[in-house]
A = this chain, B = another copy of it.
């Protein structure tokens, strides 16, 4: 039986779909506070902003830090449609994010369950709780559809 997606993940998919429409790799991210209230949302904008660091997670973290007036997002949770890469995983750690929920794993670029598995490294000084496979099918379909139209 198909599980209902948590509301922040639904919003993250809206951001991912908007990114696809802009021609960006479709990834979306949402940050909520301990009460579940929206703090920040963003889609991937590396091409639009001409910024190799402008992944959805990075933009959401930077926006949330501005909103909360602190570089530490204590008790905040991040929802993202795809497994974060090493850059984003390290930023998540620096921001002291409490929990990370992500859609499908990313064997090619991922940095949590794949590649450097950053949160297991001795140089990682804060590791969030991680929940994967939240919207896995939706995430895979979105990426497959996007790359099909590009090839």
Contacts and interface: CB of A to CB of B under 8 A. Distances in A.
Contact of A86 (B51, B62, B86, B95): B86
A137 B22 CA distance: 47
A36 interface: no
A3 interface: no
Given A115-B124, A116-B121, A70 B50 contact: yes
B46 A52 contact: no
A19 to B, nearest CB: 15
A58 to B, nearest CB: 6
A90 interface: yes
The DSSP consensus for interface residues of chain A is loop
B51 A65 contact: yes
A87 B111 CA distance: 10
A116 B49 CA distance: 28
A122 B51 CA distance: 23
A91 interface: yes
Given A52-B71, A86-B87, 7 more contacts: A46-B94, A50-B65, A51-B65, A54-B71, A109-B123, A115-B122, A115-B124
